Chain A
Amino acid sequence: VDPRARLRENPFFVLELPPDATRADVERAGQRLLGELAVGREAARYFATPLGRTERTPERVREAMAELRAPVTRLCHELWAVLHISLADGEDASGNQGSVCAPWLGIRPR
């Protein structure tokens, strides 16, 4: 088991999408990145992860899109995509769950 793979190859990081992205957002971002990689745009070559900058390849982009099409694997990746966000940040002093931010929604309550 590569302990860093779940963070470094998380589809949400690869596609630079928030974890609440819709299916259409995923497809759109994937196609855009594939196009940018095809023309050799420098900004598309790397993406940020909690473990540092990682190289983006067309294969990795296609794999990320495929991973997010399956609901079970998508939920798993959603959970891992927000590893660096503290859930406790959204909890109020009384522990009221209603005010807690959903972590994979980018701290924004829906």
Chain B
Amino acid sequence: MTTLHLVTDSSSEPRVTLAHGNGGRHMRALIEDVFARHLSNPLLDIQADAVTLPDHHDGELVFTSDGVTVQPLFFPGGDIGSLAVHGSVNDLAVSGATPRYLSINSFLEEGLPLTHLERIVTSLAQAARDCGVQVVTGDTKVLPHGQGGGLYFGVSAIGVKPRGLRLGCTRIQAGDAILVSGPVGDHGIAVMLAREQFGIRGEVRSDSASVVPLTQSLLDIPGLRFMRDPTRGGLATVLCEIHRATGLGITVKESHIPIRPAVQSVCDMLGYDPLYLACEGRVVAVIDAAQADEALARWRVLPGGAEAQRFGRIDGNVDRVLLVNDWGGERVLQELEDDPLPRIC
């Protein structure tokens, strides 16, 4: 004879169950109570299978897609909800586009406390409002317990870009300056400290934010060549990508790269290189050297741009990505063989 022990949560907190994903009443209730309530806007129709978007005669459509996972779901400076918005909005922003619409697919793990879900969706909605984007469609699935890290998002985003604006690696030329809008590595360290529950978590906050104001502020500078948000793999990986795509060398002044002392000291301690850690609210821009100061000046008066720096240049005389220290020592930044902080993005 077997006794079945029903596992009950001591706090009897409402949680996501498999029933929330079965297409029935529970699911409808969840979508209405949590998603629709926070995300409501004129285009979002939770009954419809597809959304019709208005015409956009003012520019070209730009479309991007992103999968969002992070552990823990909440971390200093943000959570997976705000991260989902910022990640895809920033991908559009660095291409020169103004983000307009989001699609959110939620993969909920059975057992996720509904209060957590609500906090996340609230945060997502707030981030979307701040960025001026509307969540116009979405879907919800529930994964059995143990098959998801609490919650994943699949996000697609559409933006509108001025006609004729061409940014990209092909425009990069030797001599161009390279700028970064703020300190690097904050997000990577903040999430890692939160995930590992280090005692010092309060000191470093994720930089998770929209970079739309930063990218928009440079669009009318004719010498702007290329922008990228240094997420997974960090600043170093962006530089390696530029090098690979253009075949041009890059020289970077180590002391000109903004890094917060707290981030640097945690990295020193744990043996991580902040140049390879993810940012979620920074922009790297390659720009004609003659217009670099103008770009920096514009960034520095914007929120999130106060610590912008010009830190490197496209260098026709070298054939790799070189990091030069104050004594003239030179180190090569390589593409990562292995992820130093796996699963952070």
- The answer to whether A and B assemble together is no
Query: B residues near A, CB below 8 A?
Result: none
